A and B are shown apart, each in its own frame.
Chain A
Amino acid sequence: MKFSYFPGCTDHSSSLEYGLSTHEVFKALGVELVEIEDWNCCGAAATHSLNRLLSLCLPARNISKAQSAQAGPLAVPCAGCFSYLKRAENVLKNDEAGRKEIEEIVGFTYQPSLEILALVDVILNRIGLEKVQEKVKKPLNGLKVACYYGCALVRHPKITQLDDPENPQYLDRLMKSLGAEPVEWSYKVDCCGADLAMTYPKVVKKMVGKIVSMAKEAGAQCITTSCGLCQMNLEMRQDVGLPIFYFTELMGVALDVEKKENWWKRHLISPKGLLKSSGLL
């Protein structure tokens, strides 16, 4: 099985451990990820704020690269990149005048057959949880996890076409299959504040504070997410010391892949204490 892969800018920077863990997990699952050639920033999360056309053309160039690669559906780890790519896809598919304008600016012909999938969707619906379960070496021992989806994976549901926008279950199902115990809580799709963190950190502190304290109140020992910006905000703007994992990191623990130490040292809140006390390290 093979997918083309769009790492996104934060793969080299603020969500380094997301990319590293993704590659190890996919290696363990025996699924190939082919990085698309010379990809560019998809434009998330600020381009749409000032220039709609640019926010459609930047992801469209990546769509054109994925088409030429012919390496299968495009798998996208970052939720922000995923939503930008899906917004462009929506225009390319459903708005003829918009499609022509984008095609002309970017210089390509859109092929609607290219599928754009969030990484969690690839794991659940293409690889399948049975296959994941087969590879589990160290079940997560009932680790209590709050699955945090944020905005970009599930909204707008007509664009992302992924899971329920108010009570999504994808990450919960994945965590269960690894032996963890996802908690029921009400803040799984609340916004973390996104890039307001740079200009209004105090506002984001309040927003993140609510999310993290509600996760804790629901009994969670940690939070898991699939978005680089969410992960950074949740780690950086909380006071309670709750570890924030990318879902691929928890998969990596359960599949007992190599080089995990290289992920833990990137975290602002070290998850090692929790992993040790849960018998997972």
Chain B
Amino acid sequence: MTSAGKVDSSFLKEVEKRSGEKLSLCYQCLKCTAGCPTAPYMDFRPNNIVRMIQMGMRKEVMESSAIWFCVYCQTCGTRCPNEIHIGILMDTLREMAMEEGFHAKEKNIHLFHEAFIHSVGRGGRAHEVTMLMEYMLKSRDLMADSLFPGVILFLKGKFPLLPSLVHGKEEIKKIFERCTKEK
């Protein structure tokens, strides 16, 4: 944020360009926040985030928990009278925050998403057991609430120990390399 009377709009322009979303159109009707299922758990609500971007509050936005609590349900984007897709905006903000070296306020959500992507990168298909192991080791989250039902699911044959792999592993590797390098 800049001194009183002046607003630095460079952050707004940058986010609009990268996300493709016209945030300047927002007139704070609050439909996004009213319908957001995870807004009660965010430090700033979705409509606040848009306003904060307009005000140039880069650090506060990038270090918010809001950008991590968005589950991309797209209720906001479907209802916005100005057709702003806040889900796409949140994706963009998360990517930018990580590229710019900001600390993820919700470290475990970040680690879980990384563990998921790593699991797909290894064999071309998601594999729950190795994904959850990576997440638990890195986050030190023992997942106490999920352990018991997880074991039952394992016993029911729904969490196979061995991953299902694609044959075109090289193709997957190439896609991962290119998509990571170009960022």
Shortest CB–CB separation between residue B41 and chain A, in angstroms?
6
Contacts of A13 on B, CB cut-off 8 Å?
Answer: 127-128, 158-160
List residues 5-61 of chain A with CB under 8 A from any CB of chain B.
9-10, 12-16, 38-41, 43, 45-54, 57-58, 61
Tell me which of B77, B110, B125, B180 has the highest count of chain A C-beta atoms within 10 A of its own C-beta. B125
Interface stretch of the complex, out of A151-159, A174-182, A244-252: A151-159
Given contacts A14-B153, A266-B156, contact A203 B38 (CB under 8 A): yes
Q: Which of A151, A197, A266 has the most CB of B within 10 A?
A: A151
CB contacts (< 8 Å) of B158 on chain A: these are 13-16, 266
Give, as a whole number of angstroms, the nearest-CB distance from B170 to chain A: 11
Q: List 10 A-B contacts (CB under 8 A).
A: A15-B158, A40-B166, A46-B116, A49-B72, A53-B179, A57-B175, A57-B178, A156-B74, A232-B153, A268-B152
Which residue of A50, A54, A106, A265 is within 8 Å of B114 (Cβ)? Answer: A50
- B120 near A195: Cβ-Cβ < 8 Å: no
Interface check B45, CB cutoff 8 A: no
Nearest A residue to B87 via CB reads A156
Taking the complex as formed, is B48 at the interface, i.e. its CB lies under 8 A from any CB of chain A?
Answer: no
With an 8 A cutoff between CB atoms, is B30 at the interface?
no
Which residues of B from 4 to 35 have beta carbons under 8 Å from A?
Answer: none
Question: Which residue of the partner chain, among B41, B91, B124, B152, contacts A200 with CB atoms under 8 Å?
Answer: B41
Chain B's closest residue to A150 (CB) is B73
Does A50 lie within 8 Å of B95, measured CB to CB?
yes
Chain B interface residue count, CB cutoff 8 Å, equals 61
Is there contact, CB below 8 Å, between B71 and A194? yes
User: Main SS of the interface on chain B?
Assistant: helix
Q: Would A191 and B73 count as touching, CB distance under 8 A?
A: yes
A193 at the interface (CB under 8 A from B): yes
Contacts of A277 in B (CB 8 A): none
Count of interface residues, chain A, beta-carbon cutoff 8 Å: 54
* CB atoms of B164 and A12 under 8 A apart: yes
Query: Given known contacts A52-B95, A191-B73, A199-B109, is B117 in contact with A46 (CB within 8 Å)?
Result: yes
* Chain A 238-279: CB-based contact to B (< 8 A → 1; otherwise 0): 000000000000000000000000000110100000000000
Number of A-B pairs whose CB atoms are under 8 Å? Answer: 157
Chain A CB within 8 A of B182 CB: yes
B101 within 8 Å of A by Cβ? no
- Report the Cα distance A169→B126, complex, angstroms: 31
Q: How far is the CA of A47 from the CA of B153 in the complex (A)?
A: 24
Name A50's contact: one of B87, B94, B135, B156 (CB within 8 Å).
Answer: B94
Encoded as 1 (CB less than 8 Å from any B CB) or 0, chain A from 98 to 121 comes to: 000000011100000000000000
**Which of B120, B127, B143, B179 is A198 in contact with, Cβ under 8 Å?**
B143
Q: How far is the CB of B9 from chain A (nearest CB, A)?
A: 24
The answer to the question of B105 belonging to the interface, with a C-beta cut-off of 8 Å to chain A, is no
Known A14-B128, A41-B125, A48-B91; judge A53-B182 contact (CB<8 A). Answer: yes
Of chain B, the residue at the smallest CB distance from A189 is B75
Query: Which B residues from 27 to 61 make CB contacts under 8 A with A?
Result: 37-38, 41
With contacts A156-B77, A193-B37, A236-B149 taken as known, whether A105 is within 8 angstroms of B98 at the C-beta atoms is no
For the complex, give the distance between the alpha carbons of A202 and B38 in Å.
12
From the candidates B77, B110, B135, B166, name the one contacting A155 in the complex (CB within 8 A): B77
Q: How far is the CB of B139 from chain A (nearest CB, A)?
A: 8
